Structure 1
Amino acid sequence: MSYLFREHGIDAMDAVNFVGFGRSARLSLVTHVAAAYLPAITPELVKEGSHGAVIDPAYAEAMKAACEELYELDKERLNR
């Protein structure tokens, strides 16, 4: 949602409605990237926490690329 608003000037509420209500062509493009960078949810993680682990710096670039790919699929519907 933030990407659509910041990078393409899509109205904030339109972006929220589009992504939040699953109107995107393939939102899984973005969710799969997010999931790939999350640690596995294990009993130890839940009990002990992440111990201050930081996300892989490649996440930002991968997420931006996924958002751009998704925008390209959805831009006709978003720019009406």
Structure 2
Amino acid sequence: MPTAWHTGDVAKKQPGKDPETVTLQVTLPAQVAKDLVALAELYHATPERMVASWTQTYVENLVAGLTPSGAAPETPDSSQPHRPR
């Protein structure tokens, strides 16, 4: 696993922070940011912690071959009942 990011300005290591973490800056539409702040207040969290948690979960699920929500992806045949020939 590479230890350095080669993403330009997308992510950067923070001095004095955990060397295994990076800071990622994202741009959100104003309404989404406003809604995120409202949700964070509702859940007694910070918007940053909520986004970090969601991102970690979604990325881990996708790397594991699952959907972002953790379900197994549908295969073309999985939506049809199995019929023996």
Q: TM-score, normalised by structure 1?
A: 0.28
Which protein, 1 or 2, shows the higher relative CO under an 8 Å CA cutoff with sep ≥ 6? Answer: 1
Please identify which structure carries the higher strand content: 2
Q: TM-score, normalised by structure 2?
A: 0.27
Please identify which structure carries the higher helix content: 1
